[in-house]
Structures are given as C-alpha cells and as structure tokens.
Amino acid sequence: MKIRSGLLLATLAAFVSSSAGAAPAEAPSGKGFPGACDIVFLVPSTLHEVSGSARCEPFTVRIARDASGKEVVPVVEVDVPVTAMDTRNRSRDGQMREMLRSDRFPLIRGTARDVDVERLRREIGKGRGGNASIGLLLRIRDVERKVLAAASHLRESGERVTFDLEFPVSLGEFGLKAPSVLGIIRVGDKISVKATLTLTVSRSP
C-alpha cells in the first residue's frame, strides 16, 4: 500500500457509514494520524442566502485490519461545536443556537465504524479526479440521519492531504423548525454544507 493514498482513503472513510456484516477489526495501532476540517454552509431564505462557517474539533484516524486482513478504520468521531458556527450576525447566530439547542446538545457529530478502506479505494478510482459519493452518518441534537456527500478536489502538499466533502442537510429530517424574522423572512429547509478536510500523513522526526 502506498502510504499517502492509503491514509487519504482512511480519512475519507471517517465520514462513511459502516458496512453491514463487517468482520470485527483488530485493535488499531497506537499511532494516529491527526485530522482537521473547516466548514462553510449556505442557508437559503425568502430574502437572500446566508453563509456561515465553522471548524471541527481535532480528530485522529487509525487503521487496523479485520479478521479477513482487509484494512479498516474501526471508529472515527468528528465533532463540530455549535457555538463555533458563525454567520457574522449575533441575533441570527442566537436563533441558530436556540434551534439547535446548544445548551443541551453542544456538538454536531459524524461517526463511522469498521469502514472498508479497500472498497473505498476502488470506488474513488472509478471517478475522474478522485470524485466519489460517500454516505455520511450525521447526528444533530438527538437525531441521527444518513446523508449523501460528494468528495472532490483531492490535493497533496508536503505532509498534508486535503479534500472537500459537499452535502445537503434537511432541517425537517432532523426535526428542526427553521427560524423566521417577523413571520415574513423564513429560512429554507435545505442547507448546503462544504467541509474541507486535512490529514497530516507524516511528521518529521
């Protein structure tokens, strides 16, 4: 396995739902590969679109092998603090955090378990430029749903590998009621999300 391509795919796997019936994985090695992500989101409304940004908490990717010898990512959790989501408007941000009930549910979380890295490698290889459709398991408040994401723009620079994930989020599917201003300006249901992820694949001794 080429170290960069293998680790890149493992990072992508952090956002894929686990495959049914996967064999249990061996415990991952002690060494982890640090990851980070920056997020931008676009919120439609009856007046104009509103953009926002956020940054996930640092996470770690570890690779193991299952009973059949396949490379898997046993488990990865990526958290985004709700209070870090910013639309550059204090009142609007307050409504957003109230809708998300940040006092009780401070994090938006993506989780994956027992992800088949080799399968993902094959799927990415079919797409020009490394594009691929990825199922993402997303938890907002106390509701968990699967969404379909598109991975693109794979880039390598020194020790870092980056790529983008884009996916829609339906407020209604997560049981969220979109806020309104004076009962006239209403937020739309579909939020567009783009996450740029970075994995550090090696470090100088």
Which domains are seen in the chain, by residue range? 3-200 (2.40.128.110)
Among residues 175, 44, 47, 41, which one has the least CA distance to residue 99? 175
Residue 77: what pLDDT? 82
Each residue of 77-117: pLDDT tens digit? 889 999 999 999 898 899 899 999 999 999 999 876 666 66
Dihedral sign (CA 58, 52, 15, 164): negative
Tell me the pLDDT band of 1, cut-offs 50, 70 and 90: very low
Rounded distance between C-alpha atoms, residue 112 and residue 109, angstroms? 10
Classify residue 47 by its DSSP letter. Answer: S
User: For the ranges 46-50, 90-94, 140-144, 195-199, which has the lowest average pLDDT?
Assistant: 46-50
Q: Which two tokens stand for residue 161?
A: 């590998």
